[in-house]
């Protein structure tokens, strides 16, 4: 078979297939064509030697804000992909039903990287979040656009994979848990999962996870006090354990204020690792403390999460969370996306959102991106 592209001699880590070995990966017609040692390179259109590097399924960042130019939080999806080797960015609520058409036409359809969407239940999405203005969209229940959200979701099933809501004192003011109740009705009517943001109380972390269904995502799962998922004694709250038991997905969602080492260490000490790792990248955390997806992955690696599990949490696990099993894998016949990463040793300072610095010995760096079976960008 004549391949379009072969990546040779890389350490292939594909948790979906239980693979961690030095192999070649071949692509043809936009899909993964073959994996194996010493694939025939004589007729390949493009051969890239990635010796000493990691080759993984295309990285998926489950929590991003990439409506560049449409919201104050938006960053450029393709620039972010180059810096983080991310092939699929899942935008979480930047747009609501009132402004989703612009997001689709001007950003999603023009992007070479894949953008999937959790549609915000609020009519205009996250519309007033900047360095100087923070007007929580869930504070005004008149903006909760249940009918319109269902209509837009049903008309855009190819890219809308869920419903987003933000609750908490910052995002919702005095609205309490009501926006979540509305969003759950929307998600149920549309037959989609929901992602819930939680910030400071009210409502409480426990009250939010109590309402989530199997397959729903609680993002900011390692957030700091107040509204941390652990008690003062360092025990995971029973409501959190019950939610995981019934299939709620716990996502890092680092962002500007939602990831604390103190919380992470307590959760890890209880054997509670995140299901998915995401950056919650946006304009206000691009220069820190989140920076990008590979830095977020590096933080979890340096906290002791095994490398294979870190890769799973940004490939197979988010692919299943968004209902796209053809992503996040290098199985032959799957979507021809791959990420090339460098795992380097040294001394690296990683800040969390509280100002604590973790000095780690390892760092993942973006080394290249394959999209639809072609070498898209070497970093």
**Residue list for the binding site for Zn(2+):** 63, 65, 164, 197, 220, 280
The Cα 57–Cα 308 span in angstroms is 12
> How is residue 115 written in tokens?
């953008």
Alpha-carbon gap, residue 127 to 99, rounded angstroms: 10
CA 314/CA 154 separation, integer angstroms:
27
CA 254 to chain centre: 10
Q: Are 259 and 253 in contact (CB under 8 A)?
A: yes
Question: Pairing mode, if any, of strands 47-49 and 160-167?
Answer: unpaired
The string of DSSP letters for 333-370 reads TSB--EEEEEEEEEEEEEE-TTS-EEEEEEEEEEEEEE
Place of tokens 């609501």: 96
Using alpha carbons, list the distances in angstroms from residue 183 to 3, 63, 214, 354: 46, 18, 15, 30
Phi, psi of 189 (to 5 degrees): -65, -35
Kind of pairing between the strands at 249-251 and 217-219: parallel
Q: Would you mind telling me the total number of residues written for the chain in this entry?
A: 379
Query: Of 150, 57, 160, nearest to 108 (Cα)?
Result: 160
Distances (CA, A) of 335 to 37, 224, 370: 21, 37, 10
Closest listed residue to residue 146, CA positions, set 97, 195, 101: 97
- Reference 242, options 214, 261, 219; nearest CA is 214
> Hunting for tokens 């104050």 — which residue is that?
72
The answer to whether the beta carbons of residues 138 and 170 sit under 8 Å apart is no
The string of DSSP codes covering 210-276 is: HHPPTT-EEE-TTPPSSS-SB-TTSPBPHHHHHHHHTT-EEE---TTTS--HHHHHHHHHTT---SB
Binding residues: 63, 65, 164, 197, 220, 280
């Amino acid at each position: 078979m004549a391949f379009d592209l072969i990546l040779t001699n890389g350490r292939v880590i594909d948790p979906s297939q239980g693979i961690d070995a030095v192999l070649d990966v071949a692509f043809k017609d936009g899909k993964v064509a073959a994996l194996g040692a010493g694939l025939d390179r004589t007729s390949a259109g493009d051969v890239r030697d990635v010796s000493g590097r990691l080759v993984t399924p295309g990285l998926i960042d489950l929590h991003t804000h990439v409506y560049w130019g449409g919201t104050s939080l938006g960053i450029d999806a393709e620039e972010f992909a180059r810096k983080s080797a991310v092939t699929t960015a899942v935008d979480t609520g930047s747009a609501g039903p009132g402004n989703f058409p612009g997001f689709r036409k001007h950003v999603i359809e023009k992007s070479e990287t894949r953008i999937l969407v959790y549609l915000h239940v609020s009519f205009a999405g996250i519309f007033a979040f900047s360095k100087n203005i923070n007007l929580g969209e869930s504070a005004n229940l008149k903006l909760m656009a249940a009918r319109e959200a269902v209509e837009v979701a049903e008309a855009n099933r190819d890219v809308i994979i869920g419903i987003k809501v933000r609750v908490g004192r910052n995002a919702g003011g005095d609205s309490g848990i009501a926006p979540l109740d509305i969003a759950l009705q929307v998600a149920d009517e549309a037959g989609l999962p929901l992602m819930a943001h939680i910030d400071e109380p009210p409502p409480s972390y426990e009250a939010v996870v109590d309402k989530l269904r199997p397959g729903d995502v609680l993002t900011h799962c390692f957030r700091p006090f107040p509204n941390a998922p652990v008690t003062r004694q360092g025990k995971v709250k029973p409501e959190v354990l019950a939610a995981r038991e019934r299939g709620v997905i716990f996502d890092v969602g680092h962002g500007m204020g939602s990831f604390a080492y103190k919380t992470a260490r307590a959760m890890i000490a209880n054997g509670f690792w995140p299901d998915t790792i995401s950056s919650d990248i946006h304009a206000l955390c691009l220069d820190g403390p989140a920076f990008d997806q590979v830095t977020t992955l590096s933080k979890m690696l340096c906290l002791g999460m095994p490398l294979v599990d870190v890769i799973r949490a940004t490939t197979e696990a988010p692919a299943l969370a968004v209902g796209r099993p053809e992503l996040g894998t290098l199985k032959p016949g799957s979507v021809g996306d791959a990420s090339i990463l460098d795992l380097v040793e040294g001394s690296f300072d990683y800040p969390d959102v509280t100002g604590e610095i973790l000095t780690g010995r390892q760092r993942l760096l973006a080394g290249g991106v394959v999209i639809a079976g072609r070498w898209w960008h070497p970093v």
